[in-house]
Each structure stands twice: as C-alpha cells, then as structure tokens.
Structure 1
C-alpha cells in the first residue's frame, strides 16, 4: 500500500474515532438525548441551540432546566463542558448560538444576545419545570443571561456569571442585592477582561471591586466561598475564583465544578453527583483528535488528487531554490517573525474601526483580519521586491514558484484546491451528521459553514487569497533552501510565520500570570491570537507541503485561502442582518 494511502486511512480513522468518543461523552453513554432546535425571538430572529434531555425529564416528571450561553465569537459547542455536566445531573440544558453567531440569525447583539428568546423557549417545554430554571453564561453569554433575567424576572431561579458581569454593555442592566436572583460570579484569578467586567486592573483583586461589592451588598472585600443573602429569598450571592484565565474557564474542571455546585444548590431536583465528577474533558480531547485527523486528511488526499493526469498542468518538478542567503536570510527571518505580530494589534484595530460592518463586509473581527492580511501582503511584496532587485536580480519567477503555463495552470490548481477543501468539509459534514460534533479544541474550531456564511466567504476570499500568495512568496520564494526534507522545511517556515505570535502570547501571559495587567492590553485580540497560532500553523504546513508536491505556489495558496476564509467566517460573528 502506498504510504499516502495509509496516512489517508489513519486520518479518516482519527476523525471517526474522535467523533465516536465525543458523541459518547456528549450523550453520557447514550443516556442523554442531544438534538438541534430552532426557535424565533420576538423580532423574528431565529436562534439555534443544542437541547440536552436527560432520561428522567418527562411531561409527567418535568426536570430543572439551564440555559447555557457562550461568549463573543464562539458557538454553542463551546459551552459543552457545562452542558454535558449539567445534563449528567438531571438538568435539561439549552446551549444556544448567540444571535449572529453559529447558525443563529444575525445581527450579533440582537434580541438580548439570544438570551431572552432562549429562556422563553425553555419555559415552553413541557418536560421542563418552568419554575426551576437556571441561567449560565460565559463572558458575553453572561450578558445574555442578565438580559433574559431582566426580560422575564419571574422566569428563572438563579444565574451563574462565568467570566462575566452585569452592566458592562448597552442593554445589560446593573446588578444589585436583589437582581439578578441568586447570582454566582465565577471570575478567574487571571481573567483578561477584569477592567471591562468589574472595573479592576487585575482579576486577582476582584473581591475589592466596588461594582461587585454593590452586587453583593457590602462595602468590604468579598469573601470567596461565603454565601451572601438567602437562596430562599432569591438574594443569594457567591464568588468563585478558579486559578485560570478567561478562555481557560472552558478547560478548567474547577470553573465547571463551581458552576455545577451553584446550579445544584439553587435548583430543585438535580442529581447530587459531586461537582468534581466530570467527563467533559474526554470529549474535548476526542474532538481534538478529529481536528488533527481532519487536518492530516488534507495532505494525502491532496497528493492523491494531484496524481490525476487531468490536473497535470498544476504539477511540475520542484525548481532549484533561489532563497536569501547569509545576512539577507537572517534579516528575512527576523522581519518575517516581527512584522506580522508588530502590526497585529494596530492593523486589526484599524480594520475594525475603519470598515464598519456592512452587506459587503459584515463581520467586525474579520474586517480587522482583512486589513492586517492585505497590509502584510503589501509589506511582504515590497520587501521581497527590494531584496530581489538588490541581491537576486535576474532570478526567474519560475524559481520562486510563480510560473504558469497559461491560464490552465492556475485553473487546474484552483480546481484541485476546491476539491481538497470541499472534500475536507464533506468529511466534517459527515462527522456532524453521524456524531453531532465538529473539529475543535478549546478556542479554535472548524465549523461547517451555513448557506449564509458561504455567501460571506466569497466576499472576503479575494483579499485573503492575495495574502496567501504573498505568504507563498515569502516561505517558498525567499526562505526556501534546497536539500531540506518536509519536517525541516516546515519547522523553518513555522518559526518565521508563527514564532512571533507565540512570543507575543508568552509575553502577554507571562506578565498576566505574574499578577499584572496585560502589558499590551487588548484582551479580545490577545485571545484571538491563539486562533492565529492554530490557523497559521495549518497554513504553513499546507504551503510547505503543496509547494513540494506541485513545484508551484498556486495550489497551496488557494487551499489556504479557501480553508482559512471559511474557518474565519464560520467561527466569528456577523453584525448586520442579511
């Protein structure tokens, strides 16, 4: 058997095995029914969610319920650690896609972030005790919970704010000693959003937050673990501070356990299974295996496809390298690692603030990435041009991988890229259909795009294709050397393309974990940088591999553009109605 066929089989087995295990954990061994539901808000926006129904929930014996809501630029699956554990303890759980996120209708922030219609839907279910419903939300999902509590003040029993707060966004009411009812605040010791949420420079001082003290009804520092007020009267308050970060709440058994404990204390009829008895993390590892298998699938499948003679014009022998040498090579490495991360914060902020979400470019976060990508493409091309004229004048574009035997070369490369990425998403669709899961780990996810999101993909595709062509020019034109195997070439390219972002995160979190605020600020973009590391790692592998297979830049650039644009659009928020 050819080696690539063996790798292809291994990749598919990883995808299937990960999906099987994830489904088993998500359903608690088949005991919990998990199904997709859709319902409309008062303004007509449709909200989608995953409904977890434990075996004891019936019309004759309605169970307690919990509405679980994710944070900004996440989706319903991000809440699965909480949803899985609540359902294992006899609670019906509705984990929603916020409005403008996942498969819920845009715009983002509409209909109280989706919180009020989700609570209304939960109240309508005959197998849910409508006098016994809790609200749990992470980050902006906490605001959705507060909005739901304000809209239906008699429709819930308790609120768990994980990495969140009251009154931190327009339309989110201020909290006090009586509103929301029975509120727990799970705010991690190193939460990046401490100033936004509770008005303090560092999360380790949250107990001294005047805003939090107003919620708890005291002028003294809040005592963690102490219950303020009365659960019976609806005035109970409790603070938990797990030792993690804002996104770390989703990987923390402590944070999940704190939320479990509060729901068990404030809702009647829950299972008394200890909060520390948790299995969700097995699903997290299983979807990681599926993710790695899906990414691995791209390479042997792409190689098999390119061996078809009908795509022969996309492939040629790899040309001799014409990359930088000596001091020029070291300078290129330094600039490649420094410039993208040095421009990361200012250019993303410029894009978000200068390109207002519209029909053409409807996603604020993607608009920031768009400006960063186009500007960095221009920088790469400009610096490459200077180097070419000064050190490499007369080198043909063939040796940089940019030659084309007429339009057929580009067309065949584009066809191969569409086939590779399209089959990858068919594999993902199969995982969703069979197992109800996708490819993800922590804050990084590859979701199947909706029809609406596919339309958005094509609006961002051209500028991001230009970026990935420039990316190829850097990695396979200026940095490539002869004689390296794939592993060494990939490692070299990874340091140049991703190393700067790893260093940025190391500095940001090194300072944060030492007890000081983020030195460069911008907590949201700092968390998004984790996704940049994941995406650019995949893109570097694709670029390196497909150049070695085709001897040209086209296939790798087109695969990256299609794949990354779709990941980006499907995984962030849409801010205008479409």
Structure 2
C-alpha cells in the first residue's frame, strides 16, 4: 500500500534458500515511463539469479499499480519501504536500480530513506531533471550511471545534444566530482565511504537497454562490487533472452488463437451465414492504386507529430479519457480517419463517374467491389461483432491463463499485451468507439479501395498500414546511428512510441485481411482489430488522471 491509499503492484523474486534465518541482499528494480514490470523482467531475472531478493515494481499509474502516474515519488518510497519490511532481506545490503523514469523513482526512494540503501544504478536516467533530487559527489550513494551511446534522451537527462558526448556533460561531472570529462569504466570516489561513481556506455539505445547484455551486465557488475552476500556468477552468464524468446512466441500464439477461434465461430450454424466467397475487386487500379498506396504510406507519418501535439493540447487526461498518450493516439487515429474518409469518398465519386461513362454491362458492380444487389444488414453487422468478441475474448482468456501459470504476458521488448485491471477495463470501454471508427475506415480502404485480388494480400496490406512507419523509423534511427541524434531530435518519446506502431499495425492488417477473406465484408476484421487495439493501448499506457 502506497501513499494516499494507492495500491502498488510488483513481482517479488526470492532466490532458493533465502529465508528470515538466511536473509539475502535486496534490490528495488523499476521500469520507465509507459512501461511495466514485465518490460523490466530481464534485469530482475539476472539480479535474482545472483542471489538478490528483487522487488520488480510497477510505478504508480503503470501496469497493475493505482494511478495517477508521477504521484508520490512515482511509488518509489513505498517500494523501498516494502522491500525493507521483508524479514528475508538483508537491510544493510539493498540496491536501487531504475530505467529512465524508473531512475527518478528510485532517486525519490533514496531521498525518502537516505540510509535505507547501499548502492544505485541509473539506467538511461539522471539525477535532477525536475522530477528527482539533484546529484552531488556524495549523493546518491555508490552510483553507477549506465547511459548508452545512442540514448535518445541525452538532452533531457544529461544536457548534452548527443549521448556519445555524455562524458563531457557538466551535470554528470558535477555528480562525479570530476573536473573534466568522465572516463567510462573508471571508478571515482570511495566504495567504503559510499561515494563511488562509475559511468558505463553500452552500444545501444534508450529502449535497447532492456535487450542489451552489456547494459544488464553493467548493473549486475556494479551490484556485485557494492552489495555483499550475493551468489557470484560471470557477468556474461545471462539467460533472459530465453524469456524474451518465449514471450515472443506468445505473441505469435495469440494471433493464431484469435484467427483460429474466429474461423471456428464462422463455421457455426448461427454465425456461418457470414461466410462468403470473396468477390472480385473493383477498387483502384494502375496509377490510381499506386497513388492511393503513396497516400496511405505518407499521411499517417506526416500527421504523426502534429496530431500528437494537438492531442496533448485538446484532450487533457480526464475521468472519461484518463491516459495522456492514449488521448494523443486517439486524436491521431480520428483525424486520420476523417482524412481517409474524405479521400475515399472522392475516389468513389470519381469511380462512379467513370463507371457511368463506360458502356453498360449486365449486373454492374459497385466501384467498391460490393455487388449492387446485396448490402450488409444490421443483423450481419451484429453477428460480426459477436464473432469479434468471441475471437478476441478467447485470446484474452489465453493471456489470463498464461499470466496465472507463468507470471508473464505476451511480449517482445516493450511491445507487450497485458491483462487489464478493472479500472483499465472501464477506460477500454471509453476508448473503444473512437478506435472502432479508425479500424472500420482502415479496413474499408484496404478491402474495398486497395484490394487487388479476390482474397487480398496480407503482405500488401501490412505494408500499406505499417510501411510508412517502417520508413519513418529507418530515417530516425539511421540518422541516430550515423550522427548521434534522431532526425527529429526534439521528439525522442514520440519516436520511441512509434516503434510500437510497426508490429501492431501489421497485426491489424493480418486480422482485417483474414476476416475479409472469410466474409467478403470489412466488419468482422474491423471489430476484431478495434477490440485488440484498444485493449493493447489501454493496458500498456500510464494513467495520469486520479479517480
């Protein structure tokens, strides 16, 4: 239980053989902004394998912890107090480790309990920055700074334009008590006095710390030097990639479960009427198709930053829509839906004029590929919604069982699909309609305007939905790795958020294409996509509004 009655959540890793009679060193490990404890599990696994009791905590307003985010020292003081309350933890040997905003979480914990820890690791984080205490040569105690060479937040964290130049940061030099550039790998200060400092610079990015043997190994190495009572293992002895491999397989399994269960529902007597032989496409062709493809690639990316800024200005977190970044994504999605609708209606009008000017033929088809003699009924739309609920619901059940038996979710890196809390389910219902409108429009364009074959191509549709963000990220990170700065250096958070768009839009294309093949309509695929998309976003974002 945290401050002000806020319930905080975490996973406690207890090495075999540890007890009140045989206590072990403890580590409070905390993830960064809009992540969760599962994102940080790779660190926790390696700490626990080395004999540390690890509290891998969800920050306030993240994961399964009550909101709001940013409150009560991000939950850090309560987390450290809980770890210190355990009789199986050696209270004289406690370490603090946090990534990004998780670093500010543990700094607040250290400020609340200045004698309650022995060493600290800041991963991709910093002292100060307006959310955490400033650092000095004596505080925090025995500090390791792990700041990667291509960290996107160098300006925010250490006030240098490039992470490659972090050693020259005057802010960092002040914390280290250095009079010139800090030498990576060199230990400054005195371990016994608690004033030791060291800088590590792994060859990765800010989110890449979670998949870096070096970044994880640096933290392991520092606690091995500063905490007593652990189980020595070589730094290179790391097994977390197996966990990443397994939870990534979970992602593939989830997609197959949704497709398979939806396909089975379409074979039932009550819902089988939705099955149809795919009609021949009557959408755009030739240069018109390529122009449409170019628009689909360009518009979502070109509007990404400006629409996100509008979302931040227009939709502040509220009791209806309480998640800041989800609000920004929603505004981007709705405005792109409006743009797509206008362009789609213009295309239909042009296609109708061309059809009217062409020689008459028997039983003409509509220019969107739907036969003129038959349209969708409300009954069919309702049945499509039932199929979607059944398919996504089966996928949700598979995740609940996986979480219950294995304490993991479906995840690769920070792209994770999590169960929802009761509060998040209420948010899910509030955000569902806007994201359903987006999914309906995207599915309509893919199936009616851009479909080039009777069954449609999953690969083509995936490229149409996600290809723009693939190019966007190639430009951003190509520039980062070649110059040391992102192409849009002032938008590090939104660039990292965009990484998730790539796999999620591919999954939406798979859902939309598969169910369009089965039903020759857009509704089932759109409803499956909207349920999945809303769930994914809401369960994975931070909640800023306090209920």
d(CA) in 1 for partners of 2:327, 2:208: 26
Whether 2:496 is the aligned partner of 1:536: answer no
Partner of 1:482: 453
d(CA) in 1 for partners of 2:406, 2:89: 25
Deviation at 1:492, TM superposition (A): 1.2
Match of 1:277 among 227, 237, 247: 237
CA contact (8 A) 2:282 2:368 kept: no
Partner of 1:267: 227
Partner of 1:8: none
Partner of 1:399: 369
CA contact (8 A) 2:67 2:545 kept: yes
Partner of 2:481: 513
Partner of 1:258: 218
Deviation at 1:312, TM superposition (A): 3.3
d(CA) in 1 for partners of 2:2, 2:260: 45
1:189-225 Cα shifts (integer Å, max 9, x gaps) = 0000000000011100000001000100112000011
CA contact (8 A) 1:468 1:557 kept: yes
Whether 2:463 is the aligned partner of 1:492: answer no
d(CA) in 2 for partners of 1:160, 1:83: 13
Q: Does the residue aligned with 1:50 lie in a helix, a strand or coil?
A: strand
d(CA) in 2 for partners of 1:48, 1:116: 13
d(CA) in 1 for partners of 2:352, 2:96: 63
CA contact (8 A) 1:165 1:197 kept: yes
Deviation at 1:392, TM superposition (A): 3.7
Q: Does the residue aligned with 1:93 lie in a helix, a strand or coil?
A: strand
Deviation at 1:405, TM superposition (A): 4.1
Partner of 2:276: 316
Structure 2, gaps ≥5 residues long: 356-364
d(CA) in 1 for partners of 2:25, 2:370: 63
Q: RMSD in angstroms over aligned alpha carbons?
A: 1.4
Match of 1:413 among 384, 397, 416: 384
Q: Does the residue aligned with 2:483 lie in a helix, a strand or coil?
A: coil
d(CA) in 1 for partners of 2:534, 2:305: 20
Q: What pairs with 1:14-29 in structure 2 (closer than 5 Å)?
A: none
Partner of 1:350: 310
Partner of 1:503: 471
Of residues 140-149 and 386-395 in structure 1, the stretch that sits farther from structure 2 once superposed is 386-395
1:356-410 Cα shifts (integer Å, max 9, x gaps) = 0000110001001000000011111100111111134466387259975432111
Match of 1:180 among 126, 140, 147: 140
Whether 2:75 is the aligned partner of 1:106: answer no
Whether 2:394 is the aligned partner of 1:423: answer yes
Structure 1, gaps ≥5 residues long: 1-39
Partner of 1:444: 415
1:495-532 Cα shifts (integer Å, max 9, x gaps) = 21111100000000001011331112311111111110
Q: What pairs with 1:59-458 in structure 2 (closer than 5 Å)?
A: 59-170=20-131, 172-393=132-353, 396=366, 399-400=369-370, 404-458=375-429
| Change over 3 Å in CA distance of 1:168–1:404 after alignment to 2 | farther
Of residues 55-64 and 454-463 in structure 1, the stretch that sits farther from structure 2 once superposed is 55-64
Deviation at 1:434, TM superposition (A): 1.3
| Change over 3 Å in CA distance of 1:414–1:463 after alignment to 2 | same
d(CA) in 2 for partners of 1:162, 1:94: 17
Moved over 6 A (4+): none
Q: Does the residue aligned with 1:75 lie in a helix, a strand or coil?
A: coil
Deviation at 1:330, TM superposition (A): 1.0
Q: Does the residue aligned with 1:514 lie in a helix, a strand or coil?
A: helix
Partner of 1:30: none
d(CA) in 2 for partners of 1:43, 1:193: 31
Partner of 1:526: 495
Partner of 1:48: 9
d(CA) in 2 for partners of 1:382, 1:49: 47
d(CA) in 1 for partners of 2:370, 2:307: 28
Deviation at 1:56, TM superposition (A): 3.0
d(CA) in 1 for partners of 2:327, 2:22: 49
Q: Does the residue aligned with 1:185 lie in a helix, a strand or coil?
A: strand
Partner of 1:554: 523
CA contact (8 A) 2:163 2:484 kept: no
Match of 1:571 among 535, 540, 545: 540
d(CA) in 2 for partners of 1:278, 1:378: 49
d(CA) in 1 for partners of 2:10, 2:371: 46
Match of 2:441 among 454, 465, 470: 470
d(CA) in 2 for partners of 1:397, 1:519: 41
d(CA) in 2 for partners of 1:263, 1:179: 17
Aligned length: 535
Q: Does the residue aligned with 2:271 lie in a helix, a strand or coil?
A: helix
